[in-house]
Amino acid sequence: MKRHACLLAVAIFAFTMVAEAAFDARPVWVGFGSRREGHIDVAGLRLNLPYSYNDAVTGVDLGLLGSSTYMWGLQVNLLSNIVRDRAGVLQVGLYNDVGGMMTGMQAGLWCNTRCGEGVQVGLLNTSDEFYGVQLGLVNRANYLYGFQIGAINVIRGSKVPFMPFLNIGF
């Protein structure tokens, strides 16, 4: 049994070295809030204990506070998910923010994106430009091509900028 465990450990170690060399990314990253993390890409699993920042993350991102420049995959952090540029993602957390283009879904108390395509579900959903559905208590977009469902719905660039319950932009 010990021999199998040792062989498994050697195989996992060899795989991580090959994956790191092949993709120029770490397959597993546990972040503790160091400033050095920014230049390291992760392709696999990133754990944020309590905070982590990496340039690009592809895969699963779990923890308290997660931040990256690019994110592709599942991002679940209790307090905040922050992506500075592009994201193809399912973000779940109290605060979700994508500074560039977001494709996918955001779910939390406050969801924000500069330009989004997909679904936002939260108490407060904000976007400069959004293509899809905003579902929440308060929804605000400068330009919307889709639906807003909530108590307060604002589309600033629309002929009808405010509608309760349902607002449609096209």
pLDDT digits (tens, 9 = 90+) for 26-82: 899 888 876 666 678 999 999 998 898 999 999 999 999 999 999 999 999 999 999
- pTM of structure: 0.83
Which residues make Cβ contacts (< 8 Å) with residue 128, sequence separation at least 6? 113, 114, 115, 141, 142, 143
Q: How far apart are CA 125 and CA 112, in angstroms?
A: 6
Domain residue ranges in the chain: 24-93, 102-170
pLDDT at 23: 56
pLDDT band, residue 1 (cuts 50/70/90)? low
Q: How far apart are CA 30 and CA 52, in angstroms?
A: 8
pLDDT at 74: 97
pLDDT digits (tens, 9 = 90+) for 104-163: 999 999 999 999 999 999 999 999 999 999 999 999 999 999 999 999 999 999 988 999
Question: Pairing relation of β-strands 42-92 and 95-155?
Answer: parallel
Which residues make Cβ contacts (< 8 Å) with residue 71, sequence separation at least 6? 56, 57, 58, 61, 81, 83, 86, 87, 88, 89
Of 59, 115, 64, nearest to 85 by C-alpha is: 115
pLDDT digits (tens, 9 = 90+) for 75-113: 999 999 999 999 999 999 999 999 999 999 999 999 999
